[in-house]
Structures are given as structure tokens and as C-alpha cells.
Chains A and B, each alone.
Chain A
């Protein structure tokens, strides 16, 4: 789910860089010492996981995992994803250099959306399966929000892409389901073993 060079128009590319700078400035404020290694490791996980292909029937998909990054890092997910996207573009030509801004906003906003959904779990105490359900929803949200932004970016380039943009949303449904399962499983596993790793746990304690 990376947009390549040469598709988007200059204003959209500029908006991407502007949005990235703004989001980075907001999400990196007051980052503590102990958060930097966490962000780096999740950034590395995101970087690698995007390159792994899972064959499914005749086709294959790759993980995006921005939902998982959101669930673990909260708003610090944005700098982690930004770093991952920049390195993917520079080292692998994944996306492209001019599109870094748009790709950062697309994948980073997915992570922030996932975190937002993840935080909603405090309002719906569903018992044992709470983390699994909201982890799953967060995983799906990560893909869905990014898919929406992808579609919007493609829409902006003109009519010939309208069909593509609609198709883009439909094509991400398998990824959405798989991410939901994986992130849900991760969240419920972490809740049992290392609940301190998940984002927003402190808030939960305060509310109790």
C-alpha cells in the first residue's frame, strides 16, 4: 500500500509533505527517553513486516501492521511509521522519494486511527475478550483509514482513477481481515503477558 512516483500531482505531494511535518511535530512533542527505543524497535518491525509477502491462493499480500504500531505506541506511532516509510523509499524504492509525504500521512493516519479505536475499549468493558476485540478493530481500522486516504489521493488525480480508487478499497478487504486477526491476537497476548507494552494502559488505571 505505497503510492509510486509520477502518479500524484504536485499540490497533493506538497500537501503530503506539509501534513507529515505537522503530524510529526505534534506526535513527537515531549517524547521521553524511554520512548525512543520503543519507537525505534516498532519502526524496525514496521519496516521489515512490510517487505514480507504471504502467499494466499494465487496471489499474495503483505502485512501493513500500522494498526499494531498504533496499538503499541499510541500517538508515537507516527514518527515510527515515518522513519520506516522514508527508509523503505530510500533503500527499496518502495513508494518513491517524492511521495514520501503522502505515504507517511496515509500509513501514519491509519496507525493514529487504530489507536483512537483502541482507546475506545475503555468505554465498553466487554470482559476477557476486550483486548482481542478492540485489537482486531484497531488492526482493521489501520488498513481501512489508509485505504480511504489512498483512495482520496487517487481520486485527486482525476477521473481515470475513480474506478481504481473504488477498486483500491475492495482490494484491501483480505488484508483488512488478516490484520484484524493478527493485531487482535497480539493485543490479547500482550494483555496477558506484558500489559505495560500496550498503549493507553495508564489511562485505564486512572479510570478504574
Chain B
């Protein structure tokens, strides 16, 4: 009886898990399958093709958007990482009360609804007379990326023993040398995962980009949005599939980067 009960429980658990997986991934799998579909129909399988992928790479619009997306993701996450790490060092040496206040302020942009962030950034750019375009997207992305960097670097920095920095100074290292030689290697896993997280966030942001981009420039997400409104083409499936796979890869990297480092 007991064994049967356990068997039923086990089966139910597995079933539940499969159900969740289906709900989560069925739409994405559908899209991936359709991206290889010769027929433009969304219901009929017309045979396997890579034509939509070829279309995608041939499209100047898509390639320009890809270029913008990658450039913005790379620049914004790099700059956010530098600013974020510097901010962490400063926050870490603060006294408890200001530290708590600054950390709280840091967290607000992450909790804030994207649409609010997007609209307020847009208004701010217009109010200060900054014309919307590539640079405003970049500034917006740096802004919302900094908290993610701080959030992943801060715990690492807290763990590091302050006396290793002092020991380096004691052995003749200047402050900058001591930081890069001794403190930085310790927080590197946090810096890396912060960078990758920021890169991912920038890559798949739509709402904030939508409000801060202005006319004439697109990232992949805004391009797909405007294309879909005009009638969807299968090359968009192909594009979405590629984006999904890239983000998935980055997420896996983000999760495993600190662990492999720690094991070493």
C-alpha cells in the first residue's frame, strides 16, 4: 500500500513537472518549429527550410537592429559594470545607516515598473533637450543595468577579507595596484555574473528602449514589435529563436560562472 502511495505520489509529481514545462516551453518550441517551416502558415507543416534564417541575415533592417542591440548591450553592460563596481567599493566602506539608504535607493529602479522607468527617462531626456537616439538608449540601459551589477558584486565584496587589501598595501602595493591584484580577483566571479546579467537585461529590454529610442533607430526587440504590427513574417520567428538561444546561453553562463570559479 505504502509503496503504491509512493508510486502515485511520484507519478503525480512528475506529471506536474511535465505540465509546467509544457506551459513554459511549448510556445517557444512552437515558434522554433515554425521558424523552420517552409509554409508561411502557422498551422501547417510545409517541410523543413532554412530560408527564413537566410532572409533574416539578408535583411538590412534586421542586421542594423542586431548591430545596435549588441553594441548597446555590450557598451551599457561594460560601463554599468565599471560604475557598479566603483559604487560597490564606496558603499562597502560606508557606515551602516548611509549604506542601507544607498542600497535601498539602488534597488528602486529594479522594482520600478519598466514602463515608468521608460516614460520618466524619455521625459527627462526631452526636458533636458537631449535628442532621442542611440545615446539615449545607451544612457537608459546603463541606468537600469547598474543595480544588477551592484547586486551581484556587493555580496562578493562583503565576503572579502578587508585585511588582504591592507596586507597588499603593507607589502608595498599602492591602493590601485592592491585593488586590482588582490581585491579584484576575489570579486571577479561577482563582476562577471553582474556583467552577464546586465548584458542579458539590455539584450531583451523592450519597454524602456521603446520609449527612449526616438525615430529611425531600432533594436531587435523594437524591430520585431513594429514588424509584427505590420503582419508577421517567418524571418521574425527565426530572429526570435536566435535571441532566445543567445539569452539562454548567457543565463546558463551567468549561473555557472561563479560556481566553476569557486570550485577551482
Genuine A/B complex: no
Please report B residues at the A interface, Cβ cutoff 8 Å: none
**Chain A: residues with CB nearer than 8 A to chain B?**
none
